[in-house]
Structure 1
Amino acid sequence: MRPGGNRGWLLRLVIAFGFAQGAVSMARPAVSYRALALGADERAIGVIAGVYALLPLFAAVPLGRRTDHGRCAPLLPVGVVLISGGCVLSGVAGSLWTMALWSGVMGLGHLCFVIGSQSLVARQSAPHEQDRNFGHFTIGASLGQLVGPVAAGALIDGADMTRSSGLALLVAGTGCAMALTTLWGVEHRETAAGSRGGPHGRVPLGRILHTRGVPAGILISLSVLSATDILTAYLPVVGEHRGIAPAVIGVLLSVRAAASIACRLVLTPLLRLLGRTALLCVTCLLAGLLCAGVALPAPVWALGAILAALGFCLGVGQPLSMTTVVQAAPDGARSTALALRLTGNRLGQVAAPAAAGLAAGVAGAAAPFVMLGALLLLSSGVAARSPGGQRRGGGAGVVPPGRGAEAGLRRSSDV
């Protein structure tokens, strides 16, 4: 399969990602509810949410290095198995520390799947298709984030939270295993040329991190993912404080995910209208204000409207940061650059829940959303100051053969 050819592999990958992300999105609030039933406070919830990202924090770069010089598709089934196992074992765990452990296994599995799938999209997409294909790829994540919280809310019963949250985690693990049914074709269609690292040697991490566009892309991605993660982990806590039922919280989280899907479906025309720099700047700015608005004691319908607008804004950051990092990275180091982006994400997922737990313990359950609002406003400023190269009205430019990452950065990336 040549880059830019038949995209049946992309559809199968999106479906598999939907199953995997749906399981994680179902499991994260279920873990929070199960931990609450086992006596956890806001600080403990923050620690458990942080452990989810702790193992991936150390594993991302070695996995990226390996993927740059080998095949990426085998990481996909490994990720599915680890996610399924983490969900099931969290559902039968009887203590907070074992829940934290299996949450970490779940996070490691998600990392394996994401590194493998993002690297596959980068290799199998022509440069001018990367914005579109990464946007379509992340629809799988949004579909999972749409279905997972609703399913968790439907299964979790406030009267018997320990049993019902355990059942939700078992269902999540089973659902994730369904991803294996669509991965067979994806694994066996990775091109031989795309599965090799090529003649390039190992690029130093410092060189990658100093490449123009990479640090800004990492920060924006970190901010957007931290906001999504804290919403998933802490909205149940806000719901408990405000008397909102778990089923309603599940619907609210799914409203946010549905808005992200809508955003990614219209991502190409938005890029043509505004260009990448303006689009990232405006959406991060609005997301920061809306995220802080979650802290307000608004009625449920108003909270739903805030989350819908927030989901639309957050839907921009992840696919565009993937394209930015891929096209900015030196040849032979694109998977490593994606892994560094994921390391930044996981660093945010470790630090943000810990900071959120401290903030919630001191100032209440709504305080983490104010903190996230400030982080997104900072990202908006970084996006605004980033050097631009994409002209308004243009899509992602085609990188001329042989020009490599520098041409891709000048013509296709503003961040």
Structure 2
Amino acid sequence: MLVQAITFVLRPTATYQAIALDVPAAWLGVLAASFAVVPLVLAAPAGQIIDRLGERRLLIAGPALLTLATAAFVLLGDAIAGLTAATMLLGTGHLCSVVGQQALVANATEPGRYDTAFGYYTFAASLGQALGPGLIVFFGGDQTVPHTRAIFLGTLAVSVPLLLIAVFLRSSGQHGRQSGTGSGGFRELLARPGLIRALTVSCIVLAAIDVTLVYLPALGAERDIAAGTIGILLTVRAVASMISRLFLGRLTAAFGRHRLLVGTVAVSAAGLLLMLIPMPLWLMAVLVVAAGLGLGAGQPLTMSFLAESAPPGMRGRAMSLRLTGNRLGQVVIPSAAGVLAAGAGATGVLAITAAGLAGAAVAAGGLHESQGEDQ
């Protein structure tokens, strides 16, 4: 929860700080992509470390890097280069934290309960995502651009207890149980039917969350919507994701994983697309809820698929493989979005993102057949 709270307040605040520095719209895409550059390289080695040595090392390293990142925002946030460097550090700390956490959940959960376990885990993440933007409301939410330095300092205060809590986490004891090490392990995972489709869906859904987090504030600035209102909308989106994740086990039992994945991704695409039409704020909030419900289910469902596909001792690599694909999407898609924003603005970026989600729904539709082959 604390990892996500820190991340989800720092990222939109970095966008507002860049706007205050009069950074061109294309640079917002670069700023968003910088979050994923270093993790893109480190994700695979992180999974190997977990499978060989256990989760605890990364569970401590992640919060330590997040604390350093918050300090970097405070000290270096007055220039775009400093914002970019701090965002890269933030992305690295976030990567170490989540790959360790996801592997711990996968290794500590009994087979058949992955949807419920990852639903609860991602519920906690969504709770942090809902609480984080609240700092934007607290520090100058009535302004188009809030007091960013105060938000950076407040987040630094939150990162200290996060680091203290992380020290008490322990490994699952599942490491070192599989002989498939090195690149062969990754080849074996990629060869499993349906896995590449699941990675693709996960990548697009996470990139959509990422782009929304960066460009919803930009859309608000274009439409002269107060920063506090945008912060509330981001919180509403996260709360909607919390609801879908809290009841994910029951929803999967009722509708099946395949139908639920296709339906929720399609709903999020429709909600995001309709949001681009000028409308009253209450109707925009309704569409944000729809998008949040859909986006919330996609990540834990793909985590469940990977956890079931990977044998014990290789789940760290399975989760790191998923995060590598996610980070690749976070580098490529926001960078392309930044180029698009130079001509089409935030509205054009969000429209393309909605189209990408529609494509992800189509890809998820073929996941069922691939799983059937594996079974």
TM-score bin (small chain): over 0.9
Counterpart position of 2:11: 28
Structure 2 Cα separation of the partners of residues 82 and 71 of structure 1? 19
Identical aligned residues as a percent = 32
- In structure 2, the gaps of 5 or more residues are none
Could you report, residue by residue, the CA deviation over 1:221-251 in whole angstroms, capped at 9, with x for unpaired residues? Answer: 1111111111111111111111110111000
Question: In the TM superposition, what is the alpha-carbon distance from 1:252 to its structure 2 partner?
Answer: 0.3
CA RMSD of the aligned region, Å?
A: 2.0
Contact 1:21 1:145 in 2 (8 A): yes
Counterpart of 2:337 in structure 1 is 356
**Residue 156 of structure 2 corresponds to residue 173 of structure 1:** yes
Which structure has the higher relative contact order (CA within 8 Å, separation 6+)?
Answer: 2
Which residue in the other structure is 2:137 paired with?
153
- Once the two structures are TM-superposed, the CA of residue 160 in structure 1 deviates from its matched residue by 9.7
2:141·2:229 contact (CA, 8 Å) conserved in 1? Answer: no
Q: 2:112 aligns with which of 110, 122, 128?
A: 128
1:195 aligns with 2:179: no
Q: Given the alignment, which residue of 349, 360, 371 partners 2:352?
A: 371
Q: Could you tell me how far apart the structure 2 residues matched to 1:350 and 1:389 are? A: 28
Gap change, CA 1:300 and 1:161, over 3 Å in 2: closer
Q: Is the 8 A contact 1:226 1:352 kept in 2?
A: yes
- Contact 2:176/2:313, CA 8 A, preserved across alignment: no
Name the TM-score, length of structure 2 as normaliser. Answer: 0.94
Q: After superposition, give the CA deviation of every residue in 1:267-299 in whole Å (9 maximum; x if it has no partner).
A: 112111110111111111111111112221122
- In structure 1, the partner of 2:291 is 310
Q: Corresponding residue for 1:384? A: 365
1:388 is displaced (CA, Å) by 4.7
Distance 1:316 1:161, change over 3 A: closer
Q: Residue 262 of structure 2: which of 263, 268, 281 is its match?
A: 281
Is the contact between residue 143 and residue 228 of structure 2 (CA under 8 Å) also seen in structure 1?
no
Residues in 2 aligned to 1:258 and 1:180: alpha-carbon distance in whole angstroms = 25
Aligned to 1:99: 83
Distance 1:375 1:107 in 2: 23
- Which of residues 53, 56, 76 is equivalent to 1:73? 56
- How far is 1:180 from its partner? 3.0
Q: Secondary structure at the match of 2:279?
A: coil
Which whole-Å CA distance do the structure 2 matches of 1:41 and 1:153 have between them?
25
Matches within 5 A, 1:122-271: 122-156=106-140, 161=145, 164-187=147-170, 190-192=171-173, 194-202=174-182, 203-271=184-252
Match 2:43 to one of 60, 74, 82: 60
Deviation at 1:331, TM superposition (A): 4.9
Native 8 Å contact 1:221 1:317 kept in 2? yes
Distance 1:195 1:386 in 2: 29
| Equivalence for 1:12 | none
- Does the 8 Å contact 2:192/2:309 carry over to 1? yes
Say if 1:212 and 1:328, in contact at 8 Å, map to a contact too. no
What amino acid is the match of 1:169? F
Look up the match of 2:93: 109
* 2:326 aligned residue (323, 345, 351): 345
Which runs of no fewer than 5 residues in structure 1 stay unpaired?
1-17, 392-405, 411-415
Q: With structure 1 as the length reference, what TM-score do the two structures score?
A: 0.85
Deviation at 1:70, TM superposition (A): 1.3
Distance 1:379 1:134 in 2: 20
Indicate conservation of the 8 Å contact 2:58/2:97, yes or no: yes
Give the secondary structure class of the aligned counterpart of 1:127: coil
